[in-house]
Structure 1
Amino acid sequence: MSARMVAEPEAPIEALDWQGRPLRCQDCPHEDMHAEGRCDLGKVCVADRRRKRIDRFFSNNAALAARYLCHPYFEVRALAAKHASIFLLAPLKDDPEADVRVTVAYRLPLARVKDLRFDPEPRVRIAVMDRLDGAEIVPFFSDTDYNVRVAATRRAPPDSLVLLMHDPEPDVRRAVARRLPQQHLSRMAADADPLVRLEVAGHLTPEDLKILAQDDDMRVRFAVAERIDPKFLAPLANDEVAPIAEVARQRLSLA
C-alpha cells in the first residue's frame, strides 16, 4: 500500500429544510422542474435551509420569486426579494428580519426607502446610505452605531470629514484619516490613539511628517522614518529603536 494516503471525496452536505427535516423531491410542489434541470436536490433547491442553494433556485427560476415573499424562513424571503419584481417589495420594508429589509433597501427606488435611514438595524441604514451622495451622507455622522459612521467616512465629501475628527471611536477616526484633505490632516497628529496617528503618518506629506518624528509610539516613528522628507531624518537616525534608526540611516545614505 502506498505511503501516500488517498484523499477521500468529501461527503455531500445533507439536504435539510429550514426546520432541520430531510428533504425529498417527492414532497416538493416543483418536482416536475427537476426533470427540466431547473432544480437539483442538495444543490439548487428553494426548500433547502442553505442560502446558496436557495439563491441558485431563484437565479434559475426568477419568475417564481413572488410566491415566496411571505415564506416563514427569512433566507427565502430575502433571496426572493432579490429576484422578485420591485412592485411587490414595499410590504417587506416592515419585515421582522433585517436581511430582508437590507435587500429591499437596495432594490426599491431611493425615494421609497429614505425612511429606512431610521431603521433600528445598522446594516439597513448603511444600505440606504450606500445609495446617497454628497451632503446627503453627512447626517449619518451622528448615527449611534460606529459601523454606520465608518461606512459614512468612505463616501462622504472629504471636506465634510472634519466633523468626525474627534469621534469617540478610534476606528472612525482612522477611517477619517484615510480621506481627510491634507490641509486638515495635520490636526489629527495629536490624536490620543496611536493607531490613528499611524494612519495619519501614512497619509501626511513627507514635509508635514516632521510633526510626528518624536511620537511616543515606535510604530508611528517607523512609518515616519520610511516617508519623511530626508532633511528631517537626522534625529531618527539616533532613535532608541534599532529598526527605526536603521531605516533612517539607510535613507540618509541615499539622499
Structure 2
Amino acid sequence: MTDIDEAVDWRGNTISCDACGYAALLAAGRCRPKHACVNDRYARRIDRFFAWNPTLADTHVRHPHFEVRAIAAKHADIFLLPPMLDDPEEAVRWNAVRRLPRRYALRLRDDPHREVRIRVAALLDEADLIPMIRDPDYYVRLMVARRVGPGLLARMIEDKEPEVRRMVAVRAPVEWLIRMAADADADVRYEVSKRLPGDLLARLKRDPDWRVRFEVASRLPVAQIADLARDEDILVREMVASRLSPPTTPRTLEPAILEPTMLEIVS
C-alpha cells in the first residue's frame, strides 16, 4: 500500500521542510517528506520518524498533537511516562502504561475509555482484577471472565450480560453448572448442557431450546430418553431413535450355488 500523496500537518497546513527544525535530519536521510515526518498528521509517518530517530521521542511527550504524543510514548525514556497516564487521549495513556511496571496499570482500571480498561484487564494479575468484575462495560467484564480463576468466576454467574455468563459456563468448575441450568439465555444453557455430566442432564429435557434438548438426547442415559422420542424437533427425535434402536447384525449371505452352463454340460 502506498502512502497518501500529500504532506499536511495536524492543523491542516501544508508542511514545508524549509521551515522545519529538523533540516539536518533530512540531509542525513533520517526523515523524508510524505514518508517519515514528525510534523505530518498521518500516524504511520510519525511512527516511521520515531523509529528512525527514537532518541528524539523525549522532546515530544508534550506535543500538542495526540498522535505524536502517543507514538513518542513508545520510545521515550520510561521515567517520562508516568505523567502521561493523565493524558486526555486514551492512545497516549495506553502506550505509556504498557511500558511501565504493572502497578501503574492499577490507576487505569477506572479509565474513562473502555478500550483502555479492556487492555488493562489483559495485563493485570487475578487479584488486581477484582474491582473490574463490576465494570460498567460488558466487554471489560468478559475479558475478566476469560482470565480469572474459579474463585472469582463464582461472582460472575449472575452477570447481567449473557455473553459474560456464557464465558462463565465455559470455564466454571463442572459442579457449579447446575446453578446455571435455568439461565434465561439459551446460549448459556447450551454451554451448560455441553459440560454437565450425563446423569445431571435430565433437568434440561424440557428446555425450550432444541440445541439443549439435542445435547440431552445424545448424552443422557438411554433409559431416560424415551419420552424425548416425541420431541417437537426432528433432530432430537432422530437422535433418540438412533440411540434406542438395537444395533443391527449384518446378515451373512449363503454362498450362491451356480447352475452349470450349457457349455459345461455339453463338454
Q: Aligned partners of 1:92, 1:223: CA distance in 2, in Å?
A: 52
8 Å Cα contact 1:210/1:228 also seen in 2: no
Show the 5 A alignment for 1:19-98.
19-34=11-26, 36-98=28-90
For 2:215 and 2:16, the matched residues in 1 are separated by 60
SS across alignment from 1:82: coil
What does the per-residue CA deviation read over 1:186-212, in whole Å, with 9 as the maximum and x for residues that have no partner?
A: 211111111222232344345544433
Sequence identity (%): 46
Structure 1 residues 108-147: aligned runs within 5 Å: 108-147=100-139
Matched, 1:196 2:188: yes
User: Contact between 2:3 and 2:35, CA under 8 Å: does it hold in 1?
Assistant: no
User: What are the Cα deviations for residues 7-32 of structure 1, in whole angstroms up to 9, with x where unaligned?
Assistant: xxx87523333233344544443344
Equivalent-residue separation in structure 1 for 2:22 and 2:198 (angstroms): 65
1:25-47 Cα shifts (integer Å, max 9, x gaps): 44443344345554343343332
Alignment match of 2:148 (pick from 134, 148, 156): 156
Q: Is the 8 A contact 1:106 1:127 kept in 2?
A: no
| Equivalent residue number for residue 94 of structure 2 | 102
Distance in 1 (alpha carbons) for counterparts of 2:246 and 2:9:
67
TM-score by length of 1: 0.79
Code of the residue aligned with 2:11 in structure 1: it is Q
Residue deviations 1:83-141, cap 9 Å, x none?
Answer: 21211111112111122112222222223442332333333334443332233322211
Give the whole-Å Cα distance in 2 for the aligned partners of 1:251 and 1:104.
59
**Residues 247, 137 of structure 1: CA spacing in aligned structure 2 closer, same or farther, 3 A cutoff?**
same
Query: Which segments of structure 1 move beyond 6 Å, counting only runs of 4 or more?
Result: 251-255
Q: Report the CA distance shift for 1:101/1:224 in structure 2 as closer, same or farther (over 3 A).
A: farther
**RMSD of the TM alignment (CA)?**
3.0
Could you tell me which residue of structure 1 aligns to residue 160 of structure 2? 168
Paired residue type of 1:146 = Y
Deviating more after overlay: 210-219 vs 85-94? 210-219
Unaligned 5+ residue runs, structure 1? 1-9
Find the aligned partners of 2:27 and 2:229 in 1 and give their Cα distance: 74
Task: Tell which deviates more after alignment, 146-155 or 53-62.
Answer: 53-62
In 2, the alpha carbon distance for the partners of 1:41 and 1:210 equals: 70
Q: Which amino acid in structure 1 is aligned with residue 126 of structure 2?
A: G
Residue 182 of structure 1 aligns to which amino acid in structure 2? V
Deviation at 1:173, TM superposition (A): 1.2
- Report deviation, 1:220: 3.2
Q: Distance in 2 between matches of 1:91 and 1:126?
A: 21
1:13 alignment partner in structure 2:
4
- Which is greater in Rg? 2
Cα drift, residue 150 of structure 1: 1.5
User: Is this contact kept in 1: 2:106–2:128, CA < 8 A?
Assistant: no
Mapped contact 1:105–1:127 kept (Cα < 8 A): no
Structure 1 position 228, deviation (Å):
2.5
The equivalent of 1:3 in structure 2 is none
Distance 1:159 1:209, change over 3 A: farther
Aligned residues: 245
**Matched letter for residue 13 of structure 1:** I
Maintained 8 Å contact 1:202/1:223: yes
Q: Letter of the aligned partner of 1:243 in structure 2?
A: L
**Counterpart AA for 2:163:** D
